[in-house]
Amino acid sequence: MGKTVGIIGAGAWGTALASALAREGNDVVLWARNERVADEINRGHTNSRYLPGFPLAESLRATTDCAEAAGGKEFVLVASPSLYLASTVAQLRAVPSVQDGRACIGALTKGFVDSPDGPKLILETMEALLPRCYEKNLVYIAGPSHAEEVATGKLTGLVAASENPKNSIRFRELLCVKGIMAYSSFDVVGVQICAAAKNVIAVVFGSLDALSETSAFFGDNAASFLLAGGLNEIQTLGFALGATHPETFTSIAGVGDLDVTCRSKYGRNRRFGRDLILRGVLSRFSGIDDLIARIGELGYLPEGVVACKFIRQIADRRRLRLPICDGLYRILNKEITPGDFLQQVASAL
């Protein structure tokens, strides 16, 4: 028997997963900020703004009313970008089935969220905003899962991580639809760090990819070198923040998600890295803060830009050596060029 599901956020990933769940007979309502997006999903069963070219399940419904999408649902999945996570989750507090803890809540958002005490992880941020009954009961979902392939039913692996084993299993069972294999994890911190930090490495990887088209110095060997070095930095960051399982970094949440984010043609962070080289997109921004404030001007959202700033803050506080992440920060802050950095990092790794 199908489940009732509310997905909060009609970006590419939220839309693709909503459609995949709806095709399996679940009653799915998708919340969109934009009324045109919601109308198009309801009338044409497409989302040309965020997932163009992919037909959606006809049973999928969309709304601009967050309470309607989440109210009375057995499962609620938050798919808002990290920049808007706090304001989005705050809207859920007024939903009766959230107030009393009936809804099982999961997060698809990748990255960190700013706070007066420094960068916070996604679930940490959500716990502070939701009723206390959700403390240690939220579920974080990640894995190598580009929306474009999920939308067409191509094989995808996901991890549902939670400190509550029952909730992890509930989401794992919900997500095991056609084309998706889901697994449970108790390493909530490790899975969140993998999902956030891999976007930073993917930006650098995209820059390297673009440079390799014109430079005899960079090739496939350098790409794998960078991938391995990036995984080391993700693991260093993860253990510093409380990751509990080494295998998190060598499984689909770690190396799997990192590899697809760096290499896939669908990756927005990889695309941004290439745009740094091929289109000179930094020329209109004064530095990383200006870039984040005006990131909508890019026409797409590379989460690695925001995560890069927060990882720099965490690394400074904890005295972590993360040369790739630090290098991207300096690139985006216009302190160094991508080409110079990549040659420097090759000798530092």
Q: Is 83 strand, coil or helix? A: helix
Distances (CA, A) of 68 to 3, 28, 54, 62, 106: 16, 11, 25, 10, 17
- Closest Cα partner for 243 from 251, 234, 256? 234
d(CA 100, CA 79): 22
- Asked if 117 and 150 touch (Cβ cutoff 8 Å), the reply is no
d(CA 113, CA 313): 12
- Closest Cα partner for 145 from 19, 22, 252? 252
Q: Is 101 strand, coil or helix? A: coil
d(CA 237, CA 242): 9
Give burial (CB, 10 Å; 0-12/13-18/19+) of 186: middle
Catalytic site positions: 198
